[in-house]
Amino acid sequence: MAKKEETPNMVEQFAEFKELKHIDKTTMISVLEESFRSVLAKTFGTDDNLDVILNPDKGDVQIFQNLEVVPDGEVENVNTQISLSEARANGDPDAEIGEEYSKEIIFANFGRRAILNLRQTLQSKILDLQKEAIYAKFKDLEGELVTGEVYQTWSKETLLLDDDKNELLLPKSEAIPSDYFRKGETVRAVVINVDNKNNNPKITVSRTSNEFLRRLFELEVPEIHDGLINIRAIARIPGERAKIAVESYDERIDAVGACVGVKGSRIHGIVRELRNENIDVINYSQKPEVLIGRALNLSHAPQMRIDHEAKKAEVFLRPEDISLAIGKGGLNIKLASMLSGYTIDIYREGSYSNEEDIYIDEFKDEIDSWIIDALKAMGCVTAKAVINTPRQDLIDKADLEEDTVDEILEILKAEFED
């Protein structure tokens, strides 16, 4: 009797798994039947003539072997045939030759080896089913925010576990440079990729993605979550600085003010999450010249020459505004270019109407490239911009030797004298 209880117990265990993993009843019955048939096929050589009837709610499993009734002495395969006398003796006194006789199989009677095989088959199918469910779940979550607990950190990636103990991989390349995680710490990230190679789901998350910043704003700013404010563009240099362009569909709502919050209450939490990444929030505009001016953090509308086809913008600024527009390490102009989608070159005011100026890049054959980069970093993008800059400024701001500056000026002036 003990053996007969084994099979119902296994069904009950699977039903418990179903409750934990939210597997629907139809799938549960299908997996159970496949598992029984797989083991039975090995035992009988085929499962074509077997009926497996499952009732998971009660834990019942019934197995019937359908055998052809043949004359006594002519049974060639006991797994597919039964003699007339045996069929009549085993409960069907009206059996006739050529008819079908259903014989009930008590699985537990096959012994522990068969039961062990069934357990292993069932576990394997459950594992496959679980992996498929994980893949489907996270495939739907691509681009969404998830939370995980730090389980282990290696040199190239960090392993996170979510509430269901699913593994989330955060590569070092997708972590903010100043990220430092301790075991057990809770980390937020966005799902960027879900692979299922060889039925082995791999979920990759990111904290450097633009979508991560977008989801954080949706979380902190109800107006964005409710669709009253739309995020039109995002540019990030993770851990350093970011720019986000927002637009309100309701004229009564100040989009920038709503994102920042009273005394910065809403944006401060995002800044802390991003390891003190500085965030500029600006009003979006469909006019590139307006968007570029706002992205450069300029207090006034500068003169600008735009090539829409080439996606290039030439911005003409007062000398005192150039360093602000470029920003420390060139971050501000780089982010403004990323946000607007335009390549931005900055010039000093006064060269706007002069079509005879020459880009300083044209002098690479005569001037070292590192010197040209240093001049461009201080806003001198053209030859005349360099010539019109005080000599001492070129020495101090570009960190050049006096002889080098004099040689550069001589080269540039000679071009215009010719």
Domain ranges of the chain: 3-136, 141-208
264-275 pLDDT tens trace:
999 999 999 999
Predicted local distance difference test score (pLDDT) of residue 17: 52
Confidence of residue 23 (pLDDT cuts 50, 70, 90): low
Predicted local distance difference test score (pLDDT) of residue 350: 62
> Is residue 285 scored above 70 in pLDDT?
yes
> Is residue 16 scored above 70 in pLDDT?
no
> Is residue 105 scored above 90 in pLDDT?
no
CB 290 within 8 A of CB 275: no
> Is residue 5 scored above 50 in pLDDT?
no
Domain at 3-136: CATH code: 3.30.1480
Predicted local distance difference test score (pLDDT) of residue 6: 44
> Is residue 26 scored above 90 in pLDDT?
no
CB 248 within 8 A of CB 254: yes
Confidence of residue 53 (pLDDT cuts 50, 70, 90): confident
Helices vs. strands in the chain: H and E counts, helices first: 15, 15
Mean pLDDT within 252-274: 94
What stretches of 157-257 adopt beta strand conformation (E)?
157-161, 167-171, 186-195, 202-206, 229-237, 241-248
Confidence of residue 353 (pLDDT cuts 50, 70, 90): very low
Confidence of residue 351 (pLDDT cuts 50, 70, 90): low
Task: Report CA-CA distances (Å) from 47 to 35, 37, 64, 106, 107.
Answer: 11, 6, 10, 15, 14
Mean pLDDT within 39-58: 83
pTM, to two decimals: 0.69
Minimal CA–CA distance to 289: which of 236, 344, 239, 330? Answer: 344
**Residue indicated by tokens 């809403």:** 266
User: Reduced to 3 DSSP states, what percent helix, strand and coil does the chain have, rounded to the nearest 5?
Assistant: 45, 25, 30
Predicted local distance difference test score (pLDDT) of residue 56: 65
Predicted local distance difference test score (pLDDT) of residue 356: 65
> Is residue 1 scored above 70 in pLDDT?
no
Predicted local distance difference test score (pLDDT) of residue 403: 92
Minimal CA–CA distance to 242: which of 253, 231, 250? Answer: 231
**Residue indicated by tokens 């240099």:** 237
**Residue indicated by tokens 């060639």:** 76
Predicted local distance difference test score (pLDDT) of residue 358: 78
Q: Are both 3-136 and 141-208 of the same fold? A: no
Predicted local distance difference test score (pLDDT) of residue 2: 33
266: tokens are 């809403």
The CATH homologous superfamily of the domain defined by 141-208 = Nucleic acid-binding proteins (2.40.50.140)
Considering the chain, what percentage of its residues have pLDDT values greater than 90? 51
Minimal CA–CA distance to 211: which of 115, 265, 146, 156? Answer: 146
